[in-house]
Amino acid sequence: MRRAGLFGVPRVRPWSWQAFLLGLVVVALSAVLQGICVALGAKLYFGAFLPGLFVLALVAGVPSAAFAALVTVPLVWWAFMPPFFEFNSLTSANADSINLFCLLAVLLIGLADLCRKTILIVSRGGLKHSDESAATNPQ
């Protein structure tokens, strides 16, 4: 891991085994948090997984976050959708929850990737300005 120049955010190379291992750790920690939420009566199946995906994409990049999102869907289907700890056919409400999670995961991972690239640009000293602007007419 190396440190970015802004905010001390640790970064992992996106296609490394450490990134994918970090993805599995984030999914496991999110599942524990989701289990606590379910025990307290929450019915949001993917509520604890979305912030973890954002942080994972920010720290480790898009590939590991996409991997974690793909692992999350069958995990939530198996562990948190009734009947618990078995795969059954999805109701339309459960299928809608999975579709909404996939949409939000794509949007959050894309946003985190933009933030990651912005941190990289700022840590390198920002964008370089050229003498001519695209809006000026050289005539």
**Band (125; pLDDT cuts 50, 70, 90):** confident
Reduced to 3 states, what is the DSSP secondary structure of residue 49?
A: helix
Q: How far apart are CA 104 and CA 50, in angstroms?
A: 8
- What are 27-53's pLDDT values in tens digits? 999 999 999 999 998 888 999 999 999
**Looking at residue 71, what is its pLDDT?**
97
- Region of 103 on the Ramachandran plot (φ > 0 left; ψ -120 to 50 alpha; else beta): alpha
**Looking at residue 83, what is its pLDDT?**
87
Q: Which of the pair, 67 or 8, is modelled with greater confidence?
A: 67
**Looking at residue 8, what is its pLDDT?**
65
The answer, yes or no, to whether residue 136 has pLDDT greater than 80, is no
